[in-house]
Structure 1
Amino acid sequence: MNKVTAADWIGREDVVQARLEPGLAAMMAATLNQPPPQEGDVLPQLWHWAAFPALAAMSELGSDGHPKLGGFLPPIDLPRRMRAGGALRFHRPLHVGERLTAHARISDVVEKSGGTGQMVFVTVQYEISGESGLALSERQDIVYLPMPDTFQPPKAIPVPTDLVIDEAQEMSEALLFRYSACTFNAHRIHYDRTYAAEVEKYPALIVHGPLQATYLIDAAHRYRGMPPSDFKFRSVSPMFHHDTLRVLAEGQEDGSLKMCTATGDTHQNMQATASWEELP
């Protein structure tokens, strides 16, 4: 019998149906200091992540709080797992309480070597439909890494200075807990300081990448007065719960925004691009 490898997971598919109920939308709004949307209102961009949580039983969780591997995602023998980035194309808006269907497919599994050693990237493609048809296409990039002996921050990327957006958001343990609750994310690096320090060797709790992306796309929406049609992002350095998150953006000649989250004036944490295109 041939040995099963992570590459054998390429092509695996999963279909999940859900809806983001008004109660959960109100919880997300409270977490983000926004007015609660009502049933039927347009769902703010990226809030759909709360509609499709990984509903693993407690017995199916690993020691890190993530669902154990070997189901939809491949059983990669690297203990650290996180969202590295992604890209989204928005076709039509979703609405609070709308019936949603997410069709997921693993499109690639790639092994690389970097400064932290062996890395494996798993790419998952999603098509999310509402009651009126396809609403958004999404790519999620998931990275698997070895567990470090000590915390070694990535090389700092300077913060841009020619800005059209410069906003500040205070991070806190309570904020991270609430966002984890809204998205049913039990990864312990976001709420368990002892685990984060002793096991994954972080100096503090980690601010969720999806939370940073949500602040970025919301700022882009407010700046242009309309939601982006395309948004892509990637994490370049961890942000911690005691930091002040800055949302920064530079205007581009094509009308897009080159964006990032940053820790003070020292370095970038997540890079992103928001762009607008006339949709049919």
Structure 2
Amino acid sequence: MTTPDFSAWLGRTESTEDNLDIGHVRKVALAIGETAPAAGGALPALWQWAFFVEGVPYAEIGEDGHPRRGGFLPPIEGRNRMWAGGRVHFHQPLRVGTPAQRKSEIIAVKEKEGRTGKLLFVTVNHQYVQDGVMCINEEQDIVYREPSPPKLTGSTEPPEAQWSESVTPDAVMLFRYSAVTYNGHRIHYDYPYVTEVEGYPGLVVHGPLLATRMCSAFQKAHPEKRLQSMSYRGLRPLTSPRPFQAAGRLESNEKAQLWVEQDGTLAHQAELIFSV
């Protein structure tokens, strides 16, 4: 089956505003088991993913719970959508309770051949601006894969960790994170759908939640260090309710290796650049 030409989507843009409301910040903190900053304080790293979300009417939602394709993102039907990874540059923190804007642009659409079939990658650039200053610049890679049994087992053992946190992603945590990020994807909360339609053995843990917990574990182990950039990618899905470990180790005075492991193998990994 030939993939349609989606080159017309390159350069497509949209803009979203948000007040970074303190009440919602507190709900995000509860959803991921962290402490909320005060009004006027710095929004923790990667919490921007719980803001700047545009919803759609029920009539515009697809079977998988996502908005139907063909709006901002290309109309890629017949494939399962997943968050594959991304790259984030932290210039300065967003401030809680101060209006901000996210400017988004599709910068790449590429098809690749994977072990489970064809994979279409769509890369979106997001610029987060507050008081006229760009605070965060990031690229997100979204992958659309042909329906096939998901890869659920890992083969790479994690390195020796210098810090580690254990997280149990039960159904309540996944529901709460879906709620605060306004993510309707049914693989995170609809057990009959995720097991019978998409073929997973349980509810799927959100990729952004894994990246957020990796970053948080580093910051708690090294509160004096300032984040510069983070490159992350998913290796395989994690399913609830088995615990996972958000861990890492320093590679140098300015670089850390982060990962999520479950059952003794890697599932998510990242490279973090920081300064003192």
TM-score (norm 1): 0.93
**Residue 61 of structure 2 aligns with which residue?**
61
Tell me the residue number matched to 2:176: 178
Unaligned ranges ≥5, structure 2: none
How many pairs align?
Answer: 273
Query: Secondary structure of the residue that 2:29 maps to in structure 1?
Result: helix
CA distance in 2, matches of 1:37, 1:63: 36
**Match for residue 142 of structure 2?**
142
Counterpart residue identity of residue 80, structure 2: R
Q: State the distance in 2 between where 1:41 and 1:221 align.
A: 16
Secondary structure at the counterpart of residue 227 of structure 2: coil
Query: Structure 1 51/274 Cα, relative in aligned 2: closer, same or farther at 3 Å?
Result: same
Distance 1:174 1:155 in 2: 25
1:243-262 equivalent positions in 2, closer than 5 A? 243-262=242-261
In the TM superposition, residue 34 of structure 1 has moved relative to its aligned partner by 2.5
CA shift for structure 1 position 152: 4.0
Structure 1 residues 147-179: Cα deviation after superposition (integer angstroms, max 9, x where no partner):
12x444355221222x21122111100000000
Partner of 1:239: 238
State whether residues 217 and 228 of structure 1, in contact with CA within 8 Å, keep that contact through their aligned partners in structure 2.
no
Corresponding residue SS for 2:84: strand
C-alpha contact 1:54 1:67 (8 A) present in aligned 2: no
Q: Deviations over 1:65-102 (max 9, x none)?
A: 00111111011234200110001001111111111111
Q: Which runs of 5+ in 1 are unaligned?
A: none
In 2, Cα distance between equivalents of 1:245 and 1:132? 39
Report 1:28-107 matches (<5 A). 28-107=28-107
Question: Measured at CA, do residues 210 and 116 of structure 1 come closer, stay the same or move farther in structure 2, by a change above 3 Å?
Answer: same
Q: Where does residue 129 of structure 2 map in the other structure?
A: 129
Cα distance, 1:30 vs structure 2: 1.2
Q: CA deviation at 1:248?
A: 1.4
Q: Structure 1 residue 201 and structure 2 residue 199: aligned?
A: yes
Q: Given that residues 128 and 137 in structure 2 are in contact (C-alpha distance below 8 angstroms), is that contact kept between their aligned partners in structure 1? A: yes
**1:58 positional shift:** 1.2
Q: Alignment identity in percent?
A: 33
SS across alignment from 1:276: strand
Decide whether the 8 Å contact of 1:6 with 1:76 is kept in 2.
Answer: no
Q: 2: CA distance between counterparts of 1:233 and 1:101?
A: 24
Normalised by the length of structure 2, the TM-score is: 0.94
> Residue type matched to 1:158 in 2?
E
- Whether the 8 Å contact between 1:127 and 1:136 is mirrored in structure 2 is yes
Moved more, 163-172 or 121-130: 163-172
CA contact (8 A) 1:167 1:247 kept: yes
Q: Which residue type is aligned with residue 15 of structure 2?
A: V
Task: Report the Cα distance in structure 1 between the residues aligned to 2:219 and 2:150, rounded to whole angstroms.
Answer: 35
Structure 1 residue 146, shift from structure 2 partner = 1.1
Distance in 2 between the 1:9 and 1:54 partners? 19
Partner residue in 2 for 1:160: 159
CA distance in 1, matches of 2:273, 2:220: 13
Looking at structure 2, the residues matched to 184 and 87 of structure 1 have their Cα atoms a distance apart, in angstroms, of 22
Cα displacement string for residues 103-140 of structure 1 (whole angstroms, at most 9, x for unaligned residues)? 11100100111111111000001111112511010000
- Secondary structure of the equivalent of 1:215? helix
Q: Distance in 2 between matches of 1:200 and 1:99?
A: 38
CA distance in 2, matches of 1:132, 1:17: 13
Q: Which runs of 4+ in 1 moved over 6 A?
A: none
The Cα RMSD (Å) is: 1.6
222-231 or 69-78: bigger deviation: 222-231
- Per the TM alignment, residue 27 of structure 1 is displaced from its structure 2 partner at its CA by 0.4
